Amino acid sequence: MSAPLSPASSCGPSESFEFTPLQLAAHWGNVQEVRYLIDSGVQLDNGPDTALHLALRKCHSTIAILLLDAGANFELKDTHEDCPIHIACTFGLLNVVHTLCALGCRLEITDSRGLYPLHLAAKNGHTHVVRCLCAAGCNLDVHYGDNIRADITALKYGHNEIAELLDKLRATGQRDTYARQLVPTSKLYVRLIVRVFGNCGVGKTSLIKSLGAGLFSTLFRRSGSLQSNKSRPSSPISAQIEMDVTSRQNSLTFESSASYKSTKGIHIQNLEISNVGDVVVWEFSGQENYFPTYHHFLHPSPQTLTLVLFNLEDSPVVQVQQACFWINFIMAREAHEWSLFKVGPIVLVATHVDSTRAIKNQQGEWVSPDAQTTLETVEKLIPDVQYLHPSVIVMDSNVPASQPFKHLKSMLLTLKRDNLEKTIGMWTGLLESTLSWLAHLRKEYEQFPVIHRKAFYDLVRTSVNVLASDDHIRALLHQLHNMGEIFCINELVVISLAWFGLQLIGEFLSTEFLANVRATGVYTPDDFQASFNQFDALGTLQLMEALELCIQCEVDGETEYEFPIYNQTETLPGLWDSGDPRYRTTGACYGGVRLYASSNCHHLFTSIFPHIQIELRRAAIANSCNNDNDTDLYQWHHGSKLCTIALETLITLDTDERSSQYIEIKIRGPQQTSQYCFYFLENVIETVLQGIARVCPGLVMERHILSVHQLRIHCIEPYAYPSQLLSTAMLESESTLEITLQNTETEKFENVITLALFGDVELVSKIHWGCSLKVQHLPIAVKFKLARLLDPPHSHGRDWCLLALRLGLEPEKIATADSHSHSCTMRLLALTDCTIGALIANLQELGRNDTAEVVLRTSPLLQIIDNATE
């Protein structure tokens, strides 16, 4: 089939041709049609201007690559005597040139004017294309006219960078070496990662020293163990510990002892472990000051072994609290990715063992009933923790050659074997040369080992491989980052992790440093430089901003950096003045919520709250940019107040009588501001949740509602109606409007419209209640938690599959949800049409109250109807 319509005028051939539908689709850039025509098996090379030439003339790279993949002839000349490579080089179509080179296209071929592809790329200033041609092995000495080489063409057209590149390749004679460096090799190489967590003094540093100790040093390491020897604590049974950990005063402390030198920040070391090979060990300090930075470094990977240490000298309750804290800490920061990736195990390690706390079996392993009980209690308290190793390693961290260390090494070896195959094609000469060059670079940048990404690209090209493309360097950075050689954060590349973890994070968040910072936590760059003149202030501030420890603000035309983490200002008196006449009238609006982390996650908010304050400041800046200048934000230690002309919102971090931390958000407005208050409060809650999600995307949140009656009378600690109480009432009630809940402190009843909608019935038409929403509206962290609970096969079949049947999913859909590489529950939740209410009911009927409870506690209370999408 052919069509008379001609794209010839735009291509410039003298005659007009009849074009095939493929040529027309290629010319007009219609990707779908080109794909369809290729799949229908049409002729690809009708010419003389083939579909490939026509697509290239219009710079439709995607279509050109589709045609090349389908087998289009790439050596044909068009009516201009140009081959596809000439057109691609003229227009700088890197992906196409790359594909053509990979297909073995001839590069020593001239166009009608005698120009080679290299000349065309040089003339038009396409440096990346010149690199690609050189890497593909084109002849650098080809010339046209009066012996004009491509470097001369580049100079003539003012592209000095290209001329220099070509000169360098010719002068060094290294072109082939550079080109070879870019090709993946068959070398197998895994660098394992060991992450070590635990409270201060549990033995992290000692364990790492012992792990890396050679045979000789092993002889000298035993002495450290002989110092501590407390009496053996009594061993309560597992159920008793469980009750203690969940109900008693929480006794987690994160202080370090004065009796030894505590690790500051994050200590990152490369170890060469005999029989295992290269391992990067990340020791995360147990001091709380540093926790707000850890999420940047916690990404699950299959090459990672995570050790959570606890001390057998501590009481069983404290052991469980600490182990749970760290597992929750890690899971909150990375859990939602766990259902998608195969990750390395988490292993509990019980330290400070001796013969009063355990017995040695015949294989020389310590057997500690206390440690085992701790593990069992942790498994019960956090039932959705995946990849938790089924036994505890019991050790004296100071005794390197002992059985527990052999056990640890054999785990590392297994992890290495499991991952070796996946590394095929990862190792390149570029990576190898960069690794040795990095050592020099670190010396050169000793004072401040941080480089902008763009500058790093240039440095790699000048010092390692002039032919490396942007894609090569991007992949290289990714590899180096994963290997623990560098750390990429935003547009910055930190080239010394030791400096980053110990000197930057270790110093700037140390207790001593915090004792000397400004109480307001606000600095101009000059103030910062004056206060800490040993550091490069601007560079440090930039890095701190990338770590989200501070935020840049403009105040009266001056740049300032606000560090909520340094803010030590006490709560100001009169912040929530009960005598303020605007909020004393009977019609004044009050409302608020308490955000709790899901059960048993104590103490996580301390490290998150400064990030929430950064998020609030970001929102306030965005508001003022939108000319909404009437918003003011005041921040102090663990508190913020957001004010508009009429409304006041208080956001604070507090702890309840069960020692559970929560974030309280309360709002008040003068009479007749109910709708304004409602939308404003929803906005603030959203901002706070965003701040939490930045640090802890896996944290499952509960939203409890504050007693409006008690807020109105300025009760210091108003009662909060638990989220599951509201969800249950909504499921059981015929009409949401009639729901009333009883405040167990005052015994008074409050209506759900008063509690959630500031008593404004008009708002009912502007929202959907949570239980009537489709399950797709469940927060992502909740879906992943359900996935972790429902994916594993259940002894009575009460897993995702039975749920799918109950929800009425057809067998074909269930078959599509069944997968080994993805979470079946996640797929089910995407496929089903059911509401959150129906999901809860089905989970209950299935006998999975554990999961029904999760949804009851964490499902959204309401959602504002978006008129644009409804």
Ligand X SMILES: Nc1nc2c(ncn2[C@@H]2O[C@H](COP(=O)(O)OP(=O)(O)OP(=O)(O)O)[C@@H](O)[C@H]2O)c(=O)[nH]1
Which among 393-401, 405-413, 766-774, 803-811 is the span making contact with ligand X, rule CB under 6 A?
393-401
Residue of 205, 240, 201 whose CA lies nearest to 221: 205
Report residue 22 as tokens. 């493929």
Q: Which residues pair with 601 in a beta bridge?
A: none
Determine which helix (DSSP H) or strand (DSSP E) holds 94, and give its type and residue range: helix 94-102
Measured N-to-C along each axis, helices 403-420 and 204-212 cross at an angle, to the nearest 10 degrees, of 70
Report residue 584 as tokens. 């004393």
Site string for ligand X, 284-303 (x = CB under 6 A): -xx-----------------
Q: Residue 351 CB, nearest distance to ligand X (Å)?
A: 4
Side-chain half-sphere CA neighbours of 598 within 13 A: 27
Residue closer to ligand X (CB basis): 230 or 454: 230
Candidates 398, 598, 710, 859: give the one binding ligand X (CB under 6 A): 398
Residue closer to ligand X (CB basis): 49 or 396: 396
Candidates 23, 304, 351, 598: give the one binding ligand X (CB under 6 A): 351
Q: Residue 370 CB, nearest distance to ligand X (Å)?
A: 14
* Angstrom distance (rounded) from CA 214 to CA 51: 66
Residue 649 phi/psi, 5-degree rounding, is -125, 135
Determine which helix (DSSP H) or strand (DSSP E) holds 636, and give its type and residue range: strand 632-636
- 389: contact with ligand X by CB under 6 A: no
**Three-state secondary structure readout of 801-826:** HHHHHHCCCCHHHHHHHCCCCCCHHH
427 close to 187: Cβ distance less than 8 angstroms: yes
Residue closer to ligand X (CB basis): 225 or 479: 225
Q: Residue 204 CB, nearest distance to ligand X (Å)?
A: 4
Candidates 92, 117, 203, 639: give the one binding ligand X (CB under 6 A): 203
Residue closer to ligand X (CB basis): 262 or 690: 262
Residue closer to ligand X (CB basis): 58 or 209: 209
828 close to 802: Cβ distance less than 8 angstroms: no
* Angstrom distance (rounded) from CA 495 to CA 487: 7
Q: Of 210-269, which residues contact ligand X (CB under 6 A)?
A: 224-225, 227-228, 256, 260, 262-263
Residue closer to ligand X (CB basis): 396 or 648: 396
Candidates 148, 200, 621, 805: give the one binding ligand X (CB under 6 A): 200
What is the β-pairing status of strands 266-273 and 277-284? antiparallel
- The number of residues that bind ligand X (CB under 6 A) is 23
Residue 720 phi/psi, 5-degree rounding, is -115, 125
Residue of 313, 309, 285, 315 whose CA lies nearest to 297: 285
Residue closer to ligand X (CB basis): 229 or 744: 229
Report residue 761 as tokens. 């019935």
Q: Residue 364 CB, nearest distance to ligand X (Å)?
A: 16
Q: Is the peptide bond before 48 cis (omega within 30 degrees of 0)?
A: yes
594 close to 720: Cβ distance less than 8 angstroms: yes
- Which distant-in-sequence residues (6+ apart) come within 8 Å of 342 by Cβ? 302
Q: Residue 317 CB, nearest distance to ligand X (Å)?
A: 19
Report residue 307 as tokens. 């050790």
- 202: contact with ligand X by CB under 6 A: yes
225 close to 398: Cβ distance less than 8 angstroms: yes
Which among 392-400, 499-507, 810-818, 831-839 is the span making contact with ligand X, rule CB under 6 A?
392-400
Q: Residue 517 CB, nearest distance to ligand X (Å)?
A: 22
Candidates 205, 373, 598, 707: give the one binding ligand X (CB under 6 A): 205
Which among 195-203, 471-479, 599-607, 655-663 is the span making contact with ligand X, rule CB under 6 A?
195-203
Q: Taken in order 837, 842, 843, 848, is the CA torsion positive or negative? A: positive
Candidates 23, 99, 153, 206: give the one binding ligand X (CB under 6 A): 206
* Angstrom distance (rounded) from CA 178 to CA 842: 62
Candidates 84, 92, 117, 198: give the one binding ligand X (CB under 6 A): 198
Q: Residue 655 CB, nearest distance to ligand X (Å)?
A: 24
Q: Residue 608 CB, nearest distance to ligand X (Å)?
A: 21
Candidates 131, 204, 461, 848: give the one binding ligand X (CB under 6 A): 204
Q: Residue 267 CB, nearest distance to ligand X (Å)?
A: 8
769 close to 734: Cβ distance less than 8 angstroms: no
66 close to 34: Cβ distance less than 8 angstroms: yes
Q: Of 558-587, which residues contact ligand X (CB under 6 A)?
A: none
Residue closer to ligand X (CB basis): 262 or 569: 262
Candidates 53, 98, 175, 352: give the one binding ligand X (CB under 6 A): 352
Residue closer to ligand X (CB basis): 297 or 456: 297
Candidates 396, 548, 615, 702: give the one binding ligand X (CB under 6 A): 396
Residue nearest to ligand X (CB): 203
Q: Of 742-801, which residues contact ligand X (CB under 6 A)?
A: none
Q: Residue 475 CB, nearest distance to ligand X (Å)?
A: 35
Residue closer to ligand X (CB basis): 312 or 476: 312
Site string for ligand X, 708-747 (x = CB under 6 A): ----------------------------------------
Report residue 398 as tokens. 């100071």
Residue closer to ligand X (CB basis): 407 or 618: 407
Residue 196 phi/psi, 5-degree rounding, is -120, 120
What DSSP string describes 653-703?
Answer: EEE-TTS-EEEEEEEEE-TT-HHHHHHHHHHHHHHHHHHHHHH-TT--EEE
- 404: contact with ligand X by CB under 6 A: no
Residue closer to ligand X (CB basis): 307 or 730: 307
Q: CB burial class (10 A; 0-12, 13-18, 19+) of residue 383? A: exposed
Binding residues for ligand X, rule: CB under 6 A, are 198, 200-206, 224-225, 227-228, 256, 260, 262-263, 285-286, 351-352, 396-398
